[in-house]
Amino acid sequence: MSTIQIVLVALFVYLGSIGSVVGNTIGWYALGRPLVASFVVGVITGDLQDAMVVGIPLQIMYMGSVTPGGAVAWDLSYATYIGTAGAIMFGKGAGASELIGYAVLFAGIGGFVGQLMWNLSYALNLPLNRLAKKYADAGDTKHMYVPNVVGGQIIGFACRFIPAVIVLSALNLGSAQADFANMIPGWLTQFLSVFGGMMAALGMGIILSFLVKKGWHYAVFLAGFILVTYFNLSTMAVAVIATIVGVVFYAAETKEA
C-alpha cells in the first residue's frame, strides 16, 4: 500500500469511530460497519472484489457488535478497516478462505488496539468538562462547540488516526518481506479458515438473542434456514420472502386492533 492509501484508510478508521466529526449516524453506524468499511478499503486500494470477499464474513461475524457508546466491547471501526486492509496486503493472490482467515486475524489485532485507544480517549476527554464549565459560566453560547467538537475531536483524531497509521505501516512493511506469506505454516492457514467460518456463528447467535422473544420465533428462524438448505434459495430470494411475510403480518395485526 502506498503512503497515501495508508493515510486514507487511517482517516476512515477515525471517521468510522464513535463520536467522530461526521456524527455517529454517518460514522460509527454507517462508515464503521464492516460491510461499508470493506467497501471503502476496496475503493482506496483498488481491490474492490477481494475487499468484499472479506467484508461480508466480517460483517456477519461482528453483526452482534452493535452496542453503542460507553458499553463498547470491541472497536469495530479499527477491527474491520485494519482487518480488510491487512487481508489485502498479505493475501495477494490467495484464495477466498485464506483471505478471510487473514482478515479475522488482523481484525482481532485492530480491534484490540482500537479498544485501548477508546479507553484512552474516554479518559482524556474528562478535563474538557472544566473547559465547558468555563464557557457556560461566562454565558458564552457562541463557543459551546469548543469543548465538545474542537476539544473532543483533537483528542479523538489523535487517538484514532495516529495509531492506525502506525499499525497499517507496520503491516505494510511486514507484507513487503518477500516470502512472508509462505512463512505462515499450512496448519495455521487451515485453522484460520476453519475459525473464520465458525466465527460467523458468533454474529448470528448474538443477533438471535436480540430477535427471539417468543418460543415460536425459533420456528421462524428455522424457516429461513431450510429455505436455503432444502430449497436452495439465495439469501436475496429469502429476504424478499421475509419482507412479504413482514408486510402481511403487519397488515393483519393492525387490522385486528
Partner 1 sequence: MAEKKISPKTLKKSFLNWFFWNGCSQQAESMLGMAFGQSMAPVIDELYDTKEEKAAALNRHITLFNTESQVGSICNGITCALEESLANGQCTPEVIESVKVALIGPTSAIGDSLWVATIIPILLTICLSIAEANPSTAWIGAVIYLIAYPIGTCILSWNLFRLGYRSGLEGLQNLMASGKLDKLTDALTLVGLIVTGALTASFVSASLPIQITKEVADYTGAEVVYNTVVLFNADNMLNSIFPKILPLGLTLLVYYLYSKKKWSPMKLMGLIAVLAAILTAIGKVSGVY
Q: What residues numbered 38-97 form the site for partner 1, per CB under 8 A?
A: 38-39, 42, 48-49, 52-53, 55-57, 59-60, 63-70, 73-74
User: Residue 49's closest CA among 11, 99, 1?
Assistant: 99
CB nearer to partner 1: give 92 or 133. Answer: 133
Among the listed residues 4, 178, 187, 215, the single contact to partner 1 using CB under 8 A:
187
Residues 197-256 touching partner 1, rule: CB under 8 A, are 197-202, 204-213, 217, 220-230, 233-236, 238-239, 241-243, 245-247, 249-250, 253-254
By the 10 Å C-beta count (0-12 exposed, 13-18 middle, 19+ buried), 62 is classed as buried
Q: Are 94 and 74 in contact (CB under 8 A)?
A: no
Among the listed residues 4, 178, 183, 257, the single contact to partner 1 using CB under 8 A:
257
Q: Are 72 and 155 in contact (CB under 8 A)?
A: no
| Chain centroid, CA 180 distance in Å | 26
Q: Are 128 and 147 in contact (CB under 8 A)?
A: yes
Report in angstroms how near the CB of residue 176 gets to partner 1 at its nearest. Answer: 27
By the 10 Å C-beta count (0-12 exposed, 13-18 middle, 19+ buried), 107 is classed as buried
User: Residue 166's closest CA among 110, 118, 122?
Assistant: 110
Among the listed residues 24, 120, 165, 181, the single contact to partner 1 using CB under 8 A:
24
Q: Are 73 and 65 in contact (CB under 8 A)?
A: yes
Residues 139-168 touching partner 1, rule: CB under 8 A, are 139-142, 144-145, 147-149, 151-153, 156
Answer yes or no whether residue 125 interacts with partner 1 by CB under 8 A. Answer: yes
Q: Give the integer Cα–Cα distance in Å for 4 and 10.
A: 10
Answer yes or no whether residue 3 interacts with partner 1 by CB under 8 A. Answer: no
Among the listed residues 3, 173, 180, 195, the single contact to partner 1 using CB under 8 A:
195
Answer yes or no whether residue 116 interacts with partner 1 by CB under 8 A. Answer: no
Among the listed residues 1, 14, 15, 33, the single contact to partner 1 using CB under 8 A:
33
Q: Which stretch binds partner 1 (CB under 8 A): 85-93, 123-131, 165-173, 175-183?
A: 123-131
Q: Give the integer Cα–Cα distance in Å for 222 and 55.
A: 25
